[in-house]
Amino acid sequence: MAALEDILSPARTACKIAGGSKKRLFETITQLVCDDRTDLVYEDVLDHLIEREKLGSTALGDGIAIPHCRAASCTAPLGALLSLSEPIPFDAPDDRPVDLLFVLLVPEEAHQEHLDILAEVARMFGDHEFCKALRAATDRRALYELAMTGPD
């Protein structure tokens, strides 16, 4: 499985951004990812994220979501970490709005790796103190560094 430091970069980390609607957030996420990875096709990534979300919400509850998808233009797993300035509705199982997101893109053929990374990210975000620290981060660098150190 890819380690978090192998799939997340400071350029794909955003702190206290405006969320707006879920669609607008997916557009922002896609732009963040594609600005850093110019080999990715914006429309491909956006379409796959939206299509995956239509299958069911990627919100876990407790204000956390892990939007994820396979994308043809993605050649290796990559992630993005975002905190929002204001939580947005995300159809979470507990009906709480989301303010922390880890986005995962994987190549179309990376089935097991996709599941393994999702499980690890979900485990990390299941740690209440870790999430509390992420929410307290005031800039992108601090958010990224907290993610790299992970939960205690």
Catalytic residues: 68
Helix (H, G, I), strand (E, B) or coil at 82: strand
Amino acid, res. 93: P
Amino acid, res. 18: A
Distances (CA, A) of 91 to 24, 75, 96: 15, 30, 8
- 29, burial (CB in 10 Å: exposed 0-12, middle 13-18, buried 19+): buried
Beta bridge partners of 68: 104
Tokens of 53: 């979300």
Q: Which H or E element spans position 13?
A: strand 13-17
Tokens of 112: 């097991």
